[in-house]
Amino acid sequence: MFRHTDRNDEAIAYYHKAIQLDPTQGYVYNNLGICYSKNKQYDKSAEQYEKAIEIDPTAIRSYYNLGRSYYFMEKYDLAEDRFLKATQLDPTYVNPYFYIGLVCFHTNRYEEAEEWFLKAQQVDPTYENSYYMMAVLRITQNHLTEAFEYLDKYLQFGNGDYDHLNADPDFAPLRTEPEWEVLMQKYFSRPGE
């Protein structure tokens, strides 16, 4: 109830009360973990997701959420393991594929990152973050033409933020290219125009 509001601390208190009343409900531990994650208390959130998985070893979201907690703690090997488990439990759930790509990217395993981002696109062709990260990956590999192609695909979803793109250091190599201005004009109107 409070988990979806900014009353996160109240939600934590209520979930603890719910656990005292019935400690056999895995989804309550999962929701408590989400609350701790919102507070960036990833060690506490990981504990709750582990408890949820102990109760229900098929809890896909708990594996995914646990992977995210480990990812944000930069425990990439543990994160990757939990994301892989989530993909095994539900091959149609796109988020773990994307996050495995992020883990590979942050551990400089760029070819594997590409495979996972592309798998995310296969599972859900509208999963825009995978196009964004493919653009970043192509920049990292100095394949600027392909980076522009992926950035264009990302922007086609209509959720791009002009200010963010112009401030993101990952896109600095593209901003010096003439194609940058063409792409920005394609998707964003200038103030005063």
Q: Are residues 73 and 17 in the same domain?
A: yes
| 64, 152: one domain | no
Domain final residue pick, 74, 107, 140 = 107
CA 98/CA 111 separation, integer angstroms: 14
* Chain segment 93-132, per-residue pLDDT in tens: 999 999 999 999 999 999 999 999 999 999 999 999 999 9
Q: What CA–CA distance (Å, rounded) separates 155 from 168?
A: 15
Task: Give the CATH number for residue 24.
Answer: 1.25.40.10
- pLDDT of 119: 98
**7 domain residue, yes or no:** yes
Domain count for the chain = 2
The predicted pLDDT at position 193 comes to 44
Question: Which pLDDT band holds residue 190 (cuts at 50, 70, 90)?
Answer: low
- Choosing from 52, 74, 107, the residue where a domain stops is 107
Are 106 and 116 within 8 A, CB to CB? no
In our burial notation (b when 16+ CB lie closer than 10 A, e otherwise), range 47-58 reads bbbebbbebeee
Percent pLDDT > 90 in the chain is 91
Residue 95 sits in the same domain as residue 8: yes
Query: 2 and 52 share a domain?
Result: yes
In terms of residue numbers, what domain contains 20? Answer: 1-107
Residues 141 and 169 in one domain: yes
The pair of three-digit structure tokens given for residue 119, joined into one six-digit string: 């798998």
Q: Are 11 and 98 within one domain? A: yes
Concatenated DSSP letters of 98-110? HHHHHHHHHTT-H
Under a CB-based contact definition with an 8 Å cutoff, are residues 97 and 119 in contact? yes
Give residue-wise pLDDT tens across range 21-58.
999 999 999 999 999 999 999 999 999 999 999 999 99
Residues 88 and 154 in one domain: no
Q: Tens digit of pLDDT for each residue in 128-168?
A: 999 999 999 999 999 999 999 999 999 999 888 999 999 99
In a domain? residue 8: yes
Q: pLDDT grade, residue 84 (50/70/90)? A: very high
